[in-house]
Amino acid sequence: MASDFRGQRVLVTGGAGFVGSNLVRRLVAEDAEVTILDDFFTGRLENLRGIPPEAYRLVRGSVTDSELVRQLVSEAEFVFHLAARNIIASTRNPYEDFKTNIGGTLNVLLAARECRPQRVLYTSSVSVYGNPRYLPINEDDRISLLTPYAVSKYSGEGYCQAFYESYGVPVVVVRYSNVYGPWQDPQNPYCGVVAKFMQRAQAGMPLEIHGDGQQTRDFTFVEDVVEATIQAALSPKSEGEVFNIGTGVETSVETLAHLVSDLYGLEVAPLHIDRRDIDNIRRRVVNIEKIRRTLRWTPNVTLAEGLYRTQRWNEECTSGEILP
């Protein structure tokens, strides 16, 4: 197992997406030889701005293309599998969700079984927990699949575990919790609540809260997520394991709205609108003790600091200067 990514060949599926592009930036900074596979369903070329074009190879294509996936995995020493239909797209079209999130993951694992990279890292979601019985949520707590997205992400986890146990494929699973930060595009109809709040606050418009706003989430800054993902990929202790990646801090959407409003000096009260069909999780906060003990990772960025950094990045985008 390599101790860092210098000179390592790395494949990032979904590398032009929000989290994927942040991960690519970090890998390029560590002198990895990066290949991006993206079908641009939600990924954007703009997300790769500021990265020297010669620092990565971009392949337009889908993880549903088994031959393409096999070719790219055969060239990689590390595989970061981030490509997926997200929760809104999955709910609208469960069949496409099945093909991409389950079929695409199986294609990656089949290629890895044959080509034997050093590590395959699969990104899952805390959506698999549904409405938990207890908080904070541990990795071995009850699974409750309330959306097609949760079903497909957990199915991917199941295949990862099966390929690890049956074929010795060196996999690790990370469950992301409500990631936000730079390069999350508010124009994308599938983006998260932080980007949507900031877009409206910047325009002086009232923030729109689905439901009563008392639903809670564990909002995690993207730089912390990338750092945890990197550590999980490199550590020999992570093989075959599942890790929550969050902050361990529970925040209501109402509180988030007030934080964003204060940041922008917005004096208009939030507007409560109808809840959506995906708004079926009342409370969420994850226990991150396992990753802290195993990998010595803890988040460094508080919600207030992360919102400030994201606001600063948004302002730079508006002025035409993209921060690295």
Which residues belong to the active site? 149
- Identify whether 136 is preceded by a cis peptide bond (ω within 30 of 0): yes
State the DSSP string of 146-208.
-SHHHHHHHHHHHHHHHHHHHH---EEEEEE-SEE-TT--TTSTT--HHHHHHHHHHTTPPPE
Residues 6+ apart with CB under 8 A from 131: 144, 146, 280, 281, 282, 283
Closest C-alpha to 299, from 309, 308, 284, 289 = 289
Strands 271-273, 220-221: pairing is unpaired
Alpha-carbon gap, residue 168 to 146, rounded angstroms: 31
Q: Which two tokens stand for residue 307?
A: 């919102």
- 242: β partners: 173
Q: Are 20 and 38 in contact (CB under 8 A)?
A: yes
Q: How many CB atoms neighbour CB 60 within 10 A?
A: 12
- Note the Cα 320 to chain centre separation in Å: 26
Classify the C-alpha dihedral 230-231-234-237 as positive or negative: negative
